[in-house]
Structure 1
Amino acid sequence: MGRGKIEIKRIENSSNRQVTFSKRRNGILKKAKEISVLCDTEVSLIICSSSGKMHQYCSPSTTLVDILDKYHKQSGKKLWDAKHENLSNEIDRIKKENDSMQIKLRHLKGEDITSLNHKELMAIEDALENGHSGIREKKNEKIEGMRKNINLDSFLLNFQGKMLEEEHRYLNFILGQQELAKQQREMTIESNVREIDTDHCTSQMPFAFRVQPIQPNLQKRI
């Protein structure tokens, strides 16, 4: 039995729709590659899925921009307005400017200068000398700034050292005063202890050794 005819309409089932899209996308991309190789043609194919993902193919011998330019010339229709045209012109201008800057950069490096004339070489030399002078000035500024910072750091270190010396002398003075006060307290305590010991010895002396008062009147009575 032959294959039944498929009605061409939107597939409602999302899973079936995605499977069909993948199969037919691969098939049409394969056909585009085959016709490009077999028939030596310029082919550009763009497929955008419902999810917004883009798939494209362009034959190796051309680009999408080239094909669009050919389409514009043959059909007389433009696919973009003046705004996009100006944007394309601006992109081309930036590309040319970038190429020119790359050439100048190679010249400044001393590359590709064999084709330059005397005036162009003089201009490059002046530019290099001006750049070298600017770099030298900036380097000297950096060195001077570093020297100032070093001098400031040295001043701060010396100042901090003097402050530490003053603090050390002050602490030594306070310590000496405390030692002197301690010695005075010890001497006072020792003197008080001696006085207490002396009084205690006097109170404990035997009665026979005590000095008896002289009574001359007793001799007269006898």
Structure 2
Amino acid sequence: LCDAQVSLVIFSSLGKLSEYCSPSTTLSKILDRYQQNSGKKLWDATHENLSAEIDRIKKENDNMQIELRHLKGEDLNSLNPKELIPIEEGLQNGLTSVREKQMDFLKMLRKNERMLEEENKRLKYLLQHQQLAIEGSMRELEISYHQKDPEYADQM
């Protein structure tokens, strides 16, 4: 029994799972071997497909995490020059895109600034004309008042 592969699964009364496997194996390997030797299916094809899909997604996620670290400039020592070229090109493209967006935003701000300056000029012009109209009306009122009250004009 020295070379025997042993696996033990224990559930406590509270439902806590504990497992032990011989150092040379894993629980999955033991269960697969049991299934092959006994002919009993422990899980169906759907579960196996889901398990494979989960493994594939985990691997894809790990690869994306590595790629993200590389794009952030981390862990670059593990890459050779050929692997650095597409990263550099991707970063250059991203930088170009960001600069284009900034330029578009700056153009929009300048256009808005010109529009506001034009509106400001127009409003100043209207204000000036209204002030002139008010001053003219005030003069007319004063003249009309003086014409109606000649004593006031003599006092001046």
TM-score, normalised to structure 2's length?
0.70
Q: What is the alpha-carbon distance in structure 1 between the residues aligned to residue 41 and residue 99 of structure 2?
A: 59
Structure exhibiting the larger radius of gyration computed from Cα positions: 1
Q: Does residue 136 of structure 2 align to residue 177 of structure 1?
A: yes
Q: What is the alpha-carbon distance in structure 2 between the residues aligned to residue 180 and residue 102 of structure 1?
A: 80
Deviation digits for residues 80-130 of structure 1, max 9, x if unmatched?
2111111112222223333444455566641323xx5xxxx32x2320231
Unpaired stretches in structure 2, ≥5 consecutive residues = 1-5
> 1:6-17 counterparts in 2 under 5 A?
none
> 1:74-113 counterparts in 2 under 5 A?
74-104=37-67, 109=74, 110-113=76-79
Q: Partner of 2:15: helix, strand, or coil?
A: strand
Contact kept? 2:9, 2:20, Cα under 8 Å = no
- Root-mean-square deviation over aligned CA pairs: 3.1
Contact kept? 1:45, 1:58, Cα under 8 Å = yes
Quick one: which amino acid aligns to residue 134 of structure 2? L
Unpaired stretches in structure 1, ≥5 consecutive residues = 1-40, 49-53, 195-222
Q: Does residue 113 of structure 2 align to residue 142 of structure 1?
A: no
Q: What is the alpha-carbon distance in structure 1 between the residues aligned to residue 44 and residue 62 of structure 2?
A: 27
Deviation digits for residues 153-196 of structure 1, max 9, x if unmatched?
211221121122112112212211221221122112213x69xx
Q: Does 1 or 2 have the higher relative contact order (CA < 8 Å, sep 6+)?
A: 2
Paired positions, count: 141
Q: Greater share of helix residues, 1 or 2? A: 2
